Amino acid sequence: MDKAFSEQASTGLVWLPEYGMGYYPVKPEDMPYDTEYFAKYRQNADTEIGRALTQARVDLVSRHYEGPLLDVGIGCGQFVEARSQTYGYDVNPAGVQWLRERGWYQDLYAGTCAALSFWDSLEHIQDPGAAVQQAREWVFVSLPIFEGADHCLRSKHFRKNEHIWYWTHDGIIRWMAAQGFACVESNTVETEIGREGIGSYAFRRQ
């Protein structure tokens, strides 16, 4: 293989157009998960748009599922607070502390869960396939959606210290199908509320 190509493939964005999916090699030590990160999400959640987003997520889940749910990557915990029977898992020490203080922490990998949610978090996870396999029935997701590699590179959502995975609309549906989940709802309500290029999905295990 060409050396320059190989080096770029190991350090830059790799996009598979046939699969509708991209990968960027974020180093765990470069990810900014700390108290300041948690506080930023708390500030964003306490706005009119933030409250509308949380309600839209609660509504998406309620259209398909009632029961215990584990929220993976809690942001500042706004969804965990807003929905009953909801617990949280995070890698940010500030988020873990917040959950433990309230008795809401649950280890994603300690056992399977009936339902999982990934609000702006699936794209941050090194092995997203292993994460979604912890769901027995339902996976709910919101994430940035791209038209292709050029769109990804131009987007505000191309974050070299946070986002590892990138999908098109068809790509996330195809990828989840490969994990054993069928899409039963997709919408752009978060974009309609005021975000840029966000898709929301409900997936059920096949």
Rounded CA-CA distance 97/148 in Å is 38
Average pLDDT on 76-104 reads 97
Could you give all domains of the chain from N- to C-terminal order, each with its CATH number? Answer: 29-205 (3.40.50.150)
Task: Tell me the whole-structure pTM to 2 decimals.
Answer: 0.95
For the stretch 92-110, pLDDT in tens is 999 999 999 999 999 999 9
- DSSP annotation of 30: G
With pLDDT > 70 as the criterion, what percentage of the chain qualifies? 100
Range name among 14-23, 38-47, 148-157 with the lowest pLDDT average: 38-47
Distance CA 122, CA 140 (A): 10
